[in-house]
Chain A
């Protein structure tokens, strides 16, 4: 499968600070790709470099084979970005903004008006079409940004923290809409702090930290490669002390009991043995594989130490 976006040794320096340290990877056409990492990892810098909002210090970024610096007209037509920061324009209504943005891309006429109406409808903005952005809530502004990103029907949609500060209903609507676009063949690149969203949506994930890619694989492979599985144990008496062996495996404890992590090769019999030796009065035991959040914490936490 061909690449929708290709990063080749991309660096970005701000004085002596290296925001991106030679990033190289490809995003396959038609894929749903997650770009994860803690704050300051370089995700937005990479996305902005891809979109033309900043110029990389070195390296190349290609969108559908075209260089984002030299062939920026083609790459910007192929790319739609929903930026992280909310944007306001006090002079124009939402419909006017969408029409102007269409004009920037050289698209006008009845077909485009129809598409703008469709976007407004799908994003539940029809009744706000004649409002200015300053009159809208944060969630509404986020929808406007999505409409703006889609107004020229880009093949690649980049969503930078699209659900930050958005209520559950809207988040659900956004993901349904995004999944629909993906099914229609759009490539989706997503950054999010809600890792359960990335786990549910993304086929492939890159985890970034300190301007570098720490892990890059399919979501299922990243989860499978995680060295631990997790066991939640509910007990009758939470004041009863844990043995040293159990303490070494403890991740967290709360009112519902304990969460332990076990190496994957370790058998459940070992765990049961340790619980028995501690003399704990066990009510319930549930075992599960790692979540993407735990993979993320393991990768980024290890790198921090």
Chain B
């Protein structure tokens, strides 16, 4: 029978949560503030000039996108930075010497990244609800997309952390892949506002489906079907998890 080291997995998860919590100003509060700056700048400037979905202000449209962007970026940062720091400091050795399986290891790291993503997202959401009258039409979809997307990005962060040998590699991954894909995922606009070519290109961006599905939970309006968004999000989560588990099982760049 397959053994599951629940205690080990839980301890590693707790360690990862406590790691980011111990520097919460940097890992939670700073991303909340910097994301709210987008809301302040874009929301105030464009609020009265654009109506993306009928009956909604631009700020109301923008907030779910910003929340999802923050979830994605912070979930990615958590696993990637924790893993590369542990590799650099050498303390990853402690977990590698323990009876924790690759799956448990993956689950613990990704679980902690989901918590951080949700913590940052919640901080922005609170401002959205109390400051801009944001409502939740379908909260189950909101929660589902938030958790699945954070898990997918936590997995992607782990992949980047495994493959990176130095901080420079990670910065390249973050600045040349994650940032462009999140900014071009429809956070600030509906893809229907784009020229047709760019609308087609957006459909190849998995982050677009995460933002669109998440936004559906608030307004029950979206650019594509919510079921399609869910399918793409789940498919990417499964794909990224599978790649991670293969690498972890083989010990690539971790068990040298």
Give me the interface of A with B, judged by CB distance under 8 Å.
Answer: 51-55, 72-74, 76-77, 79, 81, 83, 85-92, 96-97, 100-106, 108, 148
Contact = CB atoms under 8 A, between A and B. Distances in A.
A52 B96 contact: yes
B139 interface: no
Interface residues of B, number: 30
A104 B90 contact: no
Nearest to A104: B98
27 contacts: A53-B93, A53-B97, A53-B255, A55-B255, A73-B3, A76-B98, A76-B99, A87-B89, A87-B94, A88-B90, A91-B18, A91-B22, A100-B12, A100-B15, A101-B98, A103-B15, A104-B5, A104-B8, A104-B11, A105-B8, A105-B98, A105-B99, A106-B5, A106-B6, A106-B7, A106-B8, A148-B94
Contacts of B8: 103-106
Contacts of B3: 73
Interface in B1-47: 3, 5-8, 10-12, 14-15, 18-19, 22-23
B33 to A, nearest CB: 22
A25 B250 CA distance: 26
A104 B5 CA distance: 8
A103 B89 contact: no
Nearest to B19: A91
A53 B7 contact: no
Contacts of B5: 73, 104, 106
Nearest to A96: B18
Given A88-B90, A90-B89, A106-B7, A51 B97 contact: yes
B50 interface: no
Given A89-B89, A100-B14, 5 more contacts: A83-B90, A101-B94, A103-B14, A105-B99, A106-B6
Given A72-B99, A88-B89, A103 B94 contact: no
Given A73-B3, A73-B5, A104 B99 contact: yes
A74 B99 CA distance: 7
Nearest to A102: B11
A54 B255 contact: yes
Contact of A77 (B22, B23, B91, B99): B99
A52 B6 CA distance: 20
B100 A104 contact: yes
A96 B14 CA distance: 11
Nearest to A89: B91
A86 B6 CA distance: 29
A282 B118 CA distance: 84
Contacts of B179: none
B89 A73 contact: no
Contacts of B250: 55
Interface string B60-81: 0000000000000000000000
B11 A55 contact: no
B95 interface: yes
Contacts of B12: 100, 103-104
A300 to B, nearest CB: 26
Contacts of A104: 5, 7-8, 11-12, 94-95, 98-100
A52 B256 CA distance: 10
Contacts of A103: 7-8, 10-12, 14-15
A54 B256 CA distance: 5
A92 B3 CA distance: 29
A52 B255 contact: yes
